[in-house]
Chains A and B, each alone.
Chain A
Amino acid sequence: MSADEHGSSGWANITRRSWLKTLASLPVVGVFFYNFLKKKAKDDQVQRAILDELGVVERGPAIIPDAVSRPPSDRVRVGIVGFGYEGEALVRNAGYAHPDWIQESRDALRDNPGDRRLETYLNQEDLNIEFTGVCDLFDVRAQRAIAASQTEVTSGESTPRPPATRYHRYTDMLDSGQVDAVIIATPDHWHTRMTLDAAERGIHVYCEKCMTRTESEAHAMYDAVRDSGIVFQLGHQNRQSESHNKAREVIAADILGPITLVEGTTNRNTPWGAWVWDIHEDASPETIDWEQFQEPAPTKMAYTPERFFRWRCWYDYGTGLAGDLLSHDYDAVNQILDCGIPHTAVASGGIYYYKDGRDVPDVFQVVYEYPDRDMTLVYSSTLANGADRGLQFMGHDATMRVSGTLSVSAERDSTRYADKIESNIIDPSRPMFTYRPGFRGIDAVTSATEQYFASRGLLYTYRGGRRVSAYHLMIKDWLDCIRHGGTPSCNIERGFEEAITCHMATRSLLEGRRVTWDPVARRIV
């Protein structure tokens, strides 16, 4: 023991030896920071080199079409036809939630603090609309719509509103003088007739996808909307997705090189996801206007509740996977690539799992050719498996995967990135570019089907890091154009492309042959 480590306190008794012991670890600290700074400099250099090469940044899209908020000056009176699952969601996202939904969301929040449905709803912008009319052929749903119309919830407090008027025929609502704009959320077999009638009266239309049930309807709808000058929006809410808008930037910067193959997929593995929707306990010929429901359907039959509530399972009312889910993936691809209607389509599929009397396939594939772009688009789907296969754009230089997160990975044998791969700046086994919109945490999404929709940007997206309903933005976009002019993000041109592309697949499947789009005659042949 040495004397310097004893005795009185203070600086006086700190010897040279003591200082050396005190600072003994400094060389190690120095080595740490030397290595740390060296690694950081190397990592920064690699990242800069990649981003310089790509010409994009790992931030939100620079420009999101139609995302500029404009004051909702004039109050727009809105009516709805069809207040089922989708119709209720649309009206809620326009500011009118059913009281039961509010209560369910509060309960869900209490059970799970991560449930952000209510927060998203309460934070959404007031679109300044008046919910004035509803037409639904099922009494229970019509009453539910009226209840929703009376409750405008903002900042958590409920304010009583005048009830919407129920109309038993949609034409009565269009003729009432009480609606400036109408949301059509009925089964597909009604879309065209309703849009034509609304356009004739100068009433703006927000129509759910698939735009039409047949090719001839698509032509009729296109002509009616174009000639009337109404503002038409097709309900593909993926148009509002931040990831999809970022994906457009990636394409514009030509990061992927020549894209020869795009693959869109749908895998769902629940009865709900296969359209085996609930038959309401109060459903009966007395509460449902069945005859009116089947008016435009090719086949007429006696009241069948399965057909009323699970209409997507039959070609009389829709086009199955083509109109429901291929339409989403196609519209996303069309949004990102501006690829338009393909030259040819070959489809196949079958009813392999849900042998419940449906006549639309539950496993369905289609291959589209775009010879002008040297590109094939493949869509593949099954309703009896839930594997996440995503949406992928495959280029010679890189692959882009688009879902809630957008990622781009270089191709090992890329021409463009060969030097950077060789010099270890780009690692093909890892994404060289990732864009994750919004909140960094985990969003509480409950069901498998909701996870599917969320992964496709169909439930919500982000604006400035804040979660916003994609439905809300889509309706807001439509209302903005009604008030101030402009073109909605999924206008009749995009809607026509969607309808024709889906019908090419359906025609190919049903006729067992390859079909071609004739761009001059504007016909599927």
Chain B
Amino acid sequence: MLIALQLAIGWHFLYEGLAKILNEHWTAAGYLAASQWWFQSLFEKLATSPGLLGVVDVLNSWGLVAVGAGLMLGLLTRYAAVAGIVALALYYIAAPPFAGLTYAMPSEGSYLVVNKVMIEAFALTVLLVFPTRGLFGLDRLMSALRGQTLDTAARVTV
């Protein structure tokens, strides 16, 4: 089940990243400009500065691709999971579904405090706590090359 969870999240990240890269009109500007809560001014500043926005757009789209590829291939899984959690946390604090905050863009569901972004972040945390590197992926190969024992994590899931 852990492998399925990791592949599903990796798939989601990888496609989100590739879709943004392939869409020449895509930019995080609209999302950032609509930000609410404590970090509103920071995100608005990013949206209105052409230089910073360019950096944010590249980091975001290629970051999503890197995290997605890492999770799907089981490569540097731990770092990919941490980076994914950081990205999701940023998405969450940019637009948290708190009572009293309203957004111009309607969401595709109804959320109060907990939303899918938060749940996906928790799911990645599960992968950090119960690593899959002993089960599959390039991490497993690299560990084997270094002569490390590979069955520790595997036993957890059995």
A residues apposed to B, CB below 8 Å:
1, 5-11, 13-14, 18-19, 21-22, 24-25, 28-29, 32, 36, 40, 112-114, 434, 436, 439-444
State in angstroms the CA–CA spacing of A1 and B33 once bound together: 54
Known A9-B145, A40-B22: A21·B7 in contact at CB below 8 Å = no
Known A18-B141, A40-B22: A441·B27 in contact at CB below 8 Å = yes
By a CB distance below 8 angstroms, the chain A residues around B144 are 5, 13-14, 18
* Per-position binary interface string of chain B over residues 37-61, scored 1 when its CB falls under 8 Å from any chain A CB and 0 otherwise: 0000000110111100100000000
* Chain A nearest CB, measured from B74 CB (Å): 6
* Chain A nearest CB, measured from B145 CB (Å): 6
Q: Which of A5, A13, A436, A442 contacts B151 (CB 8 A)?
A: A5
Q: Which of B27, B146, B151 contacts A1 (CB 8 A)?
A: B151
B residues apposed to A, CB below 8 Å:
3, 7, 11, 14-15, 18, 22, 25, 27, 29-30, 32-33, 44-45, 47-50, 53, 72-74, 135-138, 140-141, 144-147, 149-151
Q: Which of B27, B136, B138 contacts A440 (CB 8 A)?
A: B27
Known A22-B136, A28-B7, A440-B27: A114·B149 in contact at CB below 8 Å = no
Q: Is the CB of A7 within 8 A of B147?
A: yes
By a CB distance below 8 angstroms, the chain B residues around A8 are 147
Extra 9 A-B pairs, beta carbons < 8 Å, given A1-B151, A22-B138: A22-B74, A22-B136, A24-B3, A25-B7, A29-B72, A32-B72, A441-B27, A441-B49, A442-B32
State in angstroms the CA–CA spacing of A198 and B147 once bound together: 92
User: A32: nearest residue on chain B (CB-CB)?
Assistant: B11
Known A22-B140, A32-B11, A32-B72: A442·B33 in contact at CB below 8 Å = yes
Known A25-B73, A29-B73: A113·B45 in contact at CB below 8 Å = yes
Q: Which of A9, A11, A36, A113 contacts B49 (CB 8 A)?
A: A113
Secondary structure at the A interface, as helix, strand, loop or mixed, is: loop
Known A5-B149, A9-B147, A442-B33: A22·B137 in contact at CB below 8 Å = yes
State in angstroms the CA–CA spacing of A29 and B15 once bound together: 11
User: A112: nearest residue on chain B (CB-CB)?
Assistant: B48
By a CB distance below 8 angstroms, the chain A residues around B149 are 5-6
Q: Is the CB of A28 within 8 A of B50?
A: no
Q: Which of B15, B22, B50, B150 contacts A441 (CB 8 A)?
A: B50
By a CB distance below 8 angstroms, the chain A residues around B15 are 32, 36
State in angstroms the CA–CA spacing of A218 and B143 once bound together: 86
User: B45: nearest residue on chain A (CB-CB)?
Assistant: A113
User: A31: nearest residue on chain B (CB-CB)?
Assistant: B11
By a CB distance below 8 angstroms, the chain B residues around A436 are 25
Known A113-B45, A114-B49, A442-B33: A10·B14 in contact at CB below 8 Å = no
Q: Is the CB of B14 within 8 A of A32?
A: yes
By a CB distance below 8 angstroms, the chain A residues around B25 are 434, 436, 440
Q: Which of A1, A10, A40, A442 contacts B29 (CB 8 A)?
A: A442
Q: Is the CB of A442 within 8 A of B145?
A: no
State in angstroms the CA–CA spacing of A100 and B40 once bound together: 30
By a CB distance below 8 angstroms, the chain A residues around B135 are 21, 24
* Chain A nearest CB, measured from B103 CB (Å): 15
Q: Which of A22, A29, A434 contacts B141 (CB 8 A)?
A: A22
Q: Is the CB of A36 within 8 A of B18?
A: yes
State in angstroms the CA–CA spacing of A7 and B138 once bound together: 19
* Chain A nearest CB, measured from B72 CB (Å): 5
By a CB distance below 8 angstroms, the chain A residues around B32 are 442
By a CB distance below 8 angstroms, the chain A residues around B3 are 24-25
Q: Is the CB of A442 within 8 A of B48?
A: yes
State in angstroms the CA–CA spacing of A123 and B30 once bound together: 26
User: B26: nearest residue on chain A (CB-CB)?
Assistant: A440
User: B136: nearest residue on chain A (CB-CB)?
Assistant: A24
State in angstroms the CA–CA spacing of A228 and B14 once bound together: 67
By a CB distance below 8 angstroms, the chain B residues around A7 are 147
Known A28-B72, A32-B11, A112-B48: A441·B147 in contact at CB below 8 Å = no
Q: Which 5 A-B pairs have the closest CB atoms?
A: A114-B48, A9-B147, A24-B136, A22-B141, A441-B29
User: B14: nearest residue on chain A (CB-CB)?
Assistant: A32
* Chain B nearest CB, measured from A80 CB (Å): 33
Cross-chain pairs A/B with CB under 8 angstroms, 7 sampled:
A1-B151, A10-B147, A14-B144, A28-B11, A40-B22, A113-B48, A113-B49
By a CB distance below 8 angstroms, the chain A residues around B44 are 114
By a CB distance below 8 angstroms, the chain B residues around A14 are 141, 144-145
